[in-house]
Amino acid sequence: MSQNGVAPHRGKVLTAETMNPNIRRVEYAVRGPIVQRAVEIEKELKEGVKKPFSEVIRANIGDAHAMGQRPITFLRQVLALCSYPELLSDKQFPEDAKQRARRILQGCGGGSIGAYSASQGLECVRQDVARYIEHRDGGIPSDPNNIYLSTGASDAIVTMLKLLVSGVGASRTGVLIPIPQYPLYSAALAELGAVQVGYYLNEESCWSLDTQELHRALSQARQHCQPRVLCIINPGNPTGQVQSRKCIEDVIRFAAEEKLFLMADEVYQDNVYAPGCEFHSFKKVLCEMGPKFSDTVELASFHSTSKCYMGECGFRGGYMEVLNLDPEVKAQLTKLVSVRLCPPVPGQALLDLVVNPPQQDEPSHAQFIKERSAVLLSLGERARLAEELLNAVPGISCNPVQGAMYCFPRITLPPRALQQAQSQGQAPDMFYCMRLLEETGICLVPGSGFGQREGTYHFRMTILPPTEKLKVLLSKLRDFHQRFTTEFS
């Protein structure tokens, strides 16, 4: 390097100064400093350090099994059969589970989930996904060739963004994302060096999206970048709203008029709890708006095995459906995913079961429905409970948790708390959440990790702790908030 006249940095090739500056700019609050501190505290508790609490309650991440939700029996039976096909002759497994396992194994090279699949995913799984989408969308056709299986939804979202980002300076791709957003988006955009264009959701009307705000964000962005993509998260993360059909139509019309590529993150499509709310897929609404839209608007929509009733995050299963993609671009997409060979095959198998669950005349149907309903019913209860108990605390206000797995309440922080946070170089809600963690063991994510209107403060809390633990959490949180408010008033 000395030949180049560049001084070596403290002897290391790779330092914070020499590393990729885009990576340095990446932030991901869901596993940020709060969670690192929570891990430390758990270790301290194990080592016998005295704390005002006996356990850390993690409500920072949508990780259902970690919070005690049990796996759905049918899914795991089929996965065991696929892993160890000798079990196919074992009488303890129901016939429908065996039939699913046989079909998946037949789709695998050499009949083994240890073989690479096609890079786009196993064909039989893509067929089942397409049939599932058709059924979900009232018969609107879905082509298995437009389905790409992925390593969780995150993988597919980043892949799509990768294709979309180009240009330099004022021609650099701008990507519209909601504020508050799920920080995968801001992280991916930072990594790719794309321009993040935030549009604010309207907290006053249950985190709804209005197109006026989209127009504002877009025209402002056009002064310094080239906005080409509009990302929607529905049901919302971290905000828990469910978009109305009318709103989706407005968004599609806006995307069509303004020539924006639509990315619809719909991983919480089965997590809808509020009466009167219903999930409408962007694909369905787009197709029902007629050929002017359905033949032109480019759409990628995303789903995952990590959420809904199954919560199988560890398997990293997911898919994306693309619509109206330019054929050359589609070939490029297929090439790009082939470099990583294939998504994990156990995750593909799991996805197959999610989109092709036991049917009414099959032996596993009754138990499957019972288990699934119990999870969804309980999540709905916890959504209402969280909203109700949070709103009962003076200084906290929370929109209804219409869907997804999170509430995102607004918290009023006294001016002296803001000053103290500032003096410590912390965002005020980070200061709040860190204090909460140290005093109560409750692990939440500060609103600043998702974005929020200036001068407002929030946190994201999952509704995943079991009901009794959630009640304890909410009561501790109430007491903490009152103490905190008193201390800094």
Cβ–Cβ < 8 Å for 410, 206: no
For residues 169 to 198, the per-residue mask of contacts with a second copy, x marking binding by CB under 8 A and - elsewhere, is --x-----------xx--xx--x-------
Beta carbon of residue 91, minimum distance to a second copy (angstroms, whole number): 12
Beta carbon of residue 341, minimum distance to a second copy (angstroms, whole number): 7
Is there binding between residue 24 and a second copy (CB under 8 A)?
Answer: yes
Interface of this chain with a second copy, residues 118 to 147, rule: CB under 8 A: 118-119
Strand partners, 445: 460
Beta carbon of residue 291, minimum distance to a second copy (angstroms, whole number): 13
Closer CB to a second copy, residue 84 or residue 369? 84
Burial of 230 (0-12, 13-18, 19+ CB in 10 A): buried
Contacts of 141 (CB under 8 A, 6+ apart): 134
Is there binding between residue 453 and a second copy (CB under 8 A)?
Answer: no
Contacts of 401 (CB under 8 A, 6+ apart): 240, 273, 274, 383, 384, 386, 387, 407, 463
For residues 231 to 260, the per-residue mask of contacts with a second copy, x marking binding by CB under 8 A and - elsewhere, is ---------------------------xxx
Beta carbon of residue 176, minimum distance to a second copy (angstroms, whole number): 13
Q: Which residue in the set 95, 109, 205, 394 belongs to the binding site for a second copy (CB under 8 A)?
A: 109
What whole-number distance in Å separates Cα of residue 85 and Cα of residue 316? 22
Q: Which residue in the set 150, 154, 239, 301 belongs to the binding site for a second copy (CB under 8 A)?
A: 154
Residue with tokens 């809904």: 308
Closer CB to a second copy, residue 48 or residue 110? 110
Cβ–Cβ < 8 Å for 252, 220: no
Q: Which residue in the set 106, 145, 166, 373 belongs to the binding site for a second copy (CB under 8 A)?
A: 166
The 3-state DSSP class for residue 13 equals coil
DSSP assignment of 407-450: E--EE---HHHHHHHHHTT--HHHHHHHHHHHHH-EE-EEGGGT
DSSP assignment of 351-411: HHHHHS---TTSTTHHHHHHHHHHHHHHHHHHHHHHHHHHHTSTTEE-----BTTEE--EE
Q: Which residue in the set 148, 199, 261, 309 belongs to the binding site for a second copy (CB under 8 A)?
A: 261
Interface of this chain with a second copy, residues 30 to 49, rule: CB under 8 A: 30-32, 39
Is there binding between residue 3 and a second copy (CB under 8 A)?
Answer: yes
Is there binding between residue 412 and a second copy (CB under 8 A)?
Answer: no
Interface of this chain with a second copy, residues 316 to 375, rule: CB under 8 A: 316, 324-326, 328-329, 332, 335-336, 338-347
Closer CB to a second copy, residue 185 or residue 484? 185
Contacts of 240 (CB under 8 A, 6+ apart): 207, 383, 399, 400, 401, 402, 403, 404, 405, 406, 407, 408
Closer CB to a second copy, residue 17 or residue 479? 17
Please give the torsion angle defined by the CA atoms of residues 393, 399, 400 and 401, in that order, rounded to the nearest 10 degrees: -100
What whole-number distance in Å separates Cα of residue 209 and Cα of residue 245? 12
C-beta pairs of 322-331 under 8 Å, 24+ apart in sequence: 322/146, 322/148, 322/298, 323/146, 323/283, 323/286, 323/297, 323/298, 323/299, 324/295, 324/296, 324/297, 324/298, 324/299, 325/146, 325/298, 325/300, 326/298, 329/163
Q: Which residue in the set 136, 228, 303, 372 belongs to the binding site for a second copy (CB under 8 A)?
A: 228
Interface of this chain with a second copy, residues 52 to 91, rule: CB under 8 A: 61, 63-71, 76-77, 79-81, 83-84, 87, 90
Part of the chain binding a second copy (CB under 8 A), chosen from 10-18, 125-133, 440-448, 468-476: 10-18
Residue with tokens 């002064």: 223
Closer CB to a second copy, residue 21 or residue 139? 21
Is there binding between residue 220 and a second copy (CB under 8 A)?
Answer: no
Closer CB to a second copy, residue 109 or residue 138? 109
Is there binding between residue 391 and a second copy (CB under 8 A)?
Answer: no
Beta carbon of residue 406, minimum distance to a second copy (angstroms, whole number): 15
Beta carbon of residue 383, minimum distance to a second copy (angstroms, whole number): 20
Interface of this chain with a second copy, residues 287 to 306, rule: CB under 8 A: 296, 298
Closer CB to a second copy, residue 11 or residue 290? 11
Is there binding between residue 416 and a second copy (CB under 8 A)?
Answer: no
